[in-house]
Structure 1
Amino acid sequence: MYGSTYYLSRLVLITASAVVAAGQNLSGGVGTWLVAWIPVLSVLVASLTALDTWLKPQQKWKGSLETRDAVLDLLLRMDDGLGNGEARQEFREIKDQHRDRNIF
């Protein structure tokens, strides 16, 4: 869900900001119908920029990948004979660390 929201918001943000930036040039050409939408698109660009900043996508992706790698390493060590009690404790630590670092 997060990935879909991120990429969709990025696509809309790029498209809407391009239309807002080209607003003056659209009035005399094919895209005259877009000129009326420029105020709405400007608000949309500002809102999506705020959402993008709040989501902190780069930090969250990085943190999720680090957590995934730590869990995969834990699973491999369990296959090599790491005890259940020790694995449960380490998993709790990984989970707590993920929550502290990646949930803003």
Structure 2
Amino acid sequence: MRREQRALSRGTLNYGMTYYVSRITLIVASAIVAAGQNLSRSSAAFLVGWVPALSLLVAVLTALDTWLKPQQKWKGFMESRDTLSDLLVQVDNGLPREEARKRFAALRKEHRRQNIF
């Protein structure tokens, strides 16, 4: 269970970082693409050459965000991590082994159903 807790913590961090980095990148790149023509007359004119590449980046990140759903996965990993942490506290406070195994199996099954497959 401790190994699974570490894996859930890593997954939480990974999906959280993926979510925030992709969102920030999408916002910045979309703004540059939208302002493409106006940038040519500004001090940021060097960005105009990047507009086609940024347009592609926005399209790819949008597709990946839609497919991977990092925000939903991040929330799911956090919920599973917190539920497992609570279960470990219960085990430390005397929860019978068989009951702990049963709850852990149910948690793992639900986590995989909601967040993996």
**TM-score where L is the length of structure 1:** 0.86
* Between 57-66 and 45-54, the greater mean CA deviation after superposition: 57-66
CA distance in 2, matches of 1:12, 1:49: 10
**Equivalent residue for 1:46?**
59
Compute the RMSD of aligned alpha carbons.
Answer: 1.6
How far apart, CA to CA, are the structure 2 residues paired with 1:41 and 1:78? 51
Q: CA deviation at 1:7?
A: 2.4
Give ranges in structure 1 of 5+ residues lacking alignment: none
State the distance in 2 between where 1:5 and 1:73 align.
26
Q: Which runs of 5+ in 2 are unaligned?
A: 1-13
Of the two, which has the highest radius of gyration? Answer: 1
Counting matched residue pairs gives 104
Runs of 4+ in structure 1 over 4 Å off: none
Between the aligned partners of 2:71 and 2:17, the Cα distance in structure 1 is 14
CA shift, 1:60, in A, is 1.2
1:82 to 69, 74, 95: 95
CA distance in 2, matches of 1:58, 1:98: 15
Corresponding residue for residue 97 of structure 1: 110
Is the partner of 1:82 in helix, strand or coil? coil
Q: Cα distance 1:62–1:4, how it changes in 2: closer, same or farther (>3 A)?
A: closer
Once the two structures are TM-superposed, the CA of residue 12 in structure 1 deviates from its matched residue by 1.7
- Higher helix proportion, which one? 2
**What does 1:1-104 correspond to in 2, within 5 Å?**
1-104=14-117
